[in-house]
Amino acid sequence: MAYQDHIIEMSQLIKSKNGTWDGINPESVARMRLQNRFKTGLEIARYNAAIMRKDMAAYDLDPTKYTQSLGCWHGFIGQQKMISIKKHFGTTDRKYLYLSGWMVAALRSEFGPLPDQSMHEKTSVPALIEELYTFLRQADARELGLMFRDLDAARAAGDKKREQEIIDAVDNYQTHVVPIIADIDAGFGNAEATYLLAKKMIEAGACALQIENQVSDEKQCGHQDGKVTVPHEDFIQKIRACRYAFLELGVDDGIIVTRTDSLGAGLTKQIAVSHEPGDIGDQYNSFLDCEEVAPSDMKNGDVVLNRNGKLLRPKRLPSNLFQFREGTGADRCVLDSITSLQNGSDLLWIETEKPHVEQIASMMDRIREVIPNAKLVYNNSPSFNWTLNFRQQVYDAYKAAGKDVSAYDRDKLMSIDYDATELAIEADEKIRTFQADGAKRAGIFHHLITLPTYHTAALSTDNLAKRYFGDEAMLGYVKQVQREEIRQGIACVKHQNMSGSDIGDDHKEYFAGEAALKAGGVHNTMNQFA
């Protein structure tokens, strides 16, 4: 509804109350309504699910239209990211947020910092989703509030043209509220537990849930060792649980992202149920590391498989886990991905050990032979040493092409001594184009960095502490932080405004009129940053 339509609607409603609501200003109500576009998390989920579906369709037609996100561990971080995006690019199109289970565990658990092993309380995930959207909605309220103040100034100056320009901008306002891809880990338990958690996450605003095929109580970070996968039928139950949650809550366009950790997972806790040769259980079991045995070779407690009339004994570790054959990871990833898409998944996630476009593409090519429009969410992980990986990729390409690489030590390519070399410059260019190249060649619809703001918070705090507690003292803060905020136009330099002080002043004026005691008077030190 347009700005003027809100005013008209409120004017009619106030008039109908026979004078008892005459203290209510219809334009003030219109402003408050527009500053609070979304009333519930479900409204947010439905709105953003439609956006993601539109973006997915656009990508199918043009792979240059891929999407991106950064992992954010606090509402303020997510808010500042979206404010920055609007400032620099003028639009939030194809820019999402990622909610990292790793960062929830490390930074938001009531137990304190934890590894990414599903040990944090599950309620912390929907709580963070709600927090992120609270901050994003406040960013809307703040920015629109500034526009309304400009509108009042234009009216006071009698500038009709400027007044209409601002009203048009208000009517075409783009919200900071964007899709969040939210990590539900391995579901924190059985399918019922997954369904219950999914509901809470959707009610908080999540339009996209990412779930992985690890055993819930054995969960490890995707870039750590010791990962244990579940048979496909177990995982399919959880996919269905997420879909039921979406459908129950009326978010019919909800997105399910299914992640496979099979590339780095060499273990399973279960032998899959198989009813006939070639079924999905049989395919899962076919990757087990087995030895053929005769009945006389069997020991007490042995588990054996019957395959084509042969008795096979899977390799069983002291941990009571079963081991997959070496070199089967890629094949398992392909099977996992196809099976997920055939059972209700919308997007794939293949966790890899390095950022290599052709490695990813080699699996996606096989998946797309079966499902042509298969699309990938890819983790541009800080767990990768990007500099070293890409310098080694260029080194290997040089060597394969017969180019002289005698000036380089492959194992020491991280060294600063190589920064200005042809190899390092080419590697940096490949890093710069990795997202575009991956989107075009490997079906990557969404590029995310799982935990970048964990690292930026650590780096910026280290730089400030080094300077402030060192010789620079107060200049360390002023020169490196405040002065840069002012010169780069960082909105947070006016921290009172960012916290909502001006919004509060506006409300005080609505409620009390001329009697309002406002914080933003002549003595407010924020005026120094005008």
Give how far Cα 67 sits from Cα of 58, 267, 437, Å: 10, 33, 13
**Identity (one letter) of the amino acid at 303?**
V
pLDDT at 273: 93
- H or E stretch covering 424: helix 422-432
How many whole angstroms separate alpha carbon 477 and alpha carbon 374? Answer: 49
> Is 207 annotated in the active site?
no
pLDDT at 517: 83
Give alpha helix (H) positions in 172-318: 191-203, 232-248, 280-285
User: Which token pair is 517?
Assistant: 């005691």
Q: Are 275 and 281 in contact (CB under 8 A)?
A: yes
pLDDT at 63: 98
β-sheet with 290-292: strand ranges across: 290-292, 310-314, 305-307
pTM metric for this prediction? 0.94
Output the CA torsion sign for 466, 467, 471, 473. Answer: negative
The DSSP bridge partners found for residue 312 are 292, 305
How many whole angstroms separate alpha carbon 228 and alpha carbon 217? Answer: 10
**DSSP class of 181:** E
The CATH H-level (homologous superfamily) assignment of domain 41-267+327-410+440-459 is Phosphoenolpyruvate-binding domains (3.20.20.60)
pLDDT at 339: 98
Residue among 221, 242, 290, 333 flagged as catalytic: 221
394 C-beta neighbours (distance < 10 Å), count: 24
Buried-state track 409-428, b at ≥16 Cβ within 10 A, e below 16: eeeebeeeebeeeebbebbb
Which residues of the chain are in CATH 3.20.20.60 domains?
41-267+327-410+440-459
**Identity (one letter) of the amino acid at 125?**
V
pLDDT of the chain, 530 residues: tens digit per residue:
999 999 999 999 999 999 999 999 999 999 999 999 999 999 999 999 999 999 999 999 999 999 999 999 999 999 999 999 999 999 999 999 999 999 999 999 999 888 777 778 889 999 999 999 999 999 999 999 999 999 999 999 999 999 999 999 999 999 999 999 999 998 988 999 999 999 999 999 999 999 999 987 666 665 655 688 999 999 999 999 999 999 999 999 999 999 999 998 999 989 999 999 999 999 999 999 999 998 888 888 888 998 888 899 999 888 889 999 999 999 999 999 999 999 999 999 999 999 999 999 999 999 999 999 999 999 999 999 999 999 999 999 999 999 999 999 999 999 999 999 999 999 999 999 999 999 999 999 999 999 999 999 999 999 999 999 999 999 999 999 999 999 999 999 989 899 999 999 899 899 988 888 887 777 777 777 77
How many whole angstroms separate alpha carbon 373 and alpha carbon 259? Answer: 17
pLDDT at 121: 84
448 φψ region: left (φ > 0), alpha (ψ -120 to 50), beta (else): beta
